[in-house]
């Protein structure tokens, strides 16, 4: 019935979404020192300390493996504690 059609469409959409996220998070670049890192990163610049943990947790859950932090952002400790 119609419910099965919607269910299949939702499952197809969910699978496509997961495939796209996998492709985005798995593309690697090689640094000058030979180390490979994921090309796609979660940027944390200008994110308040009290707000950065939840987006980092969500990104990791979604498949991100590269979180861009820096001493100048002053939130690297919080990002790493997640």
Catalytic site positions: 73
Residue appearing with tokens 């180390």:
35
Give alpha helix (H) positions in 1-82.
2-26, 49-62, 76-81
Rounded (5°) CA angle 70-74-76? 55
Say if CB 52 and CB 44 are below 8 A apart.
yes
């Amino acid at each position: 019935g119609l419910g099965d059609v919607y269910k299949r469409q939702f499952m197809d959409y969910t699978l496509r979404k997961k495939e796209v996220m996998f492709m985005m998070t798995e593309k690697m670049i090689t640094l000058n020192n030979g180390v490979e890192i994921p090309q796609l990163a979660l940027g944390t610049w200008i994110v308040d300390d009290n707000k950065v943990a939840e987006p980092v947790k969500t990104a990791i859950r979604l498949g991100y493996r590269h979180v861009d932090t820096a001493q100048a952002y002053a939130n690297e400790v919080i990002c790493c504690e997640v």
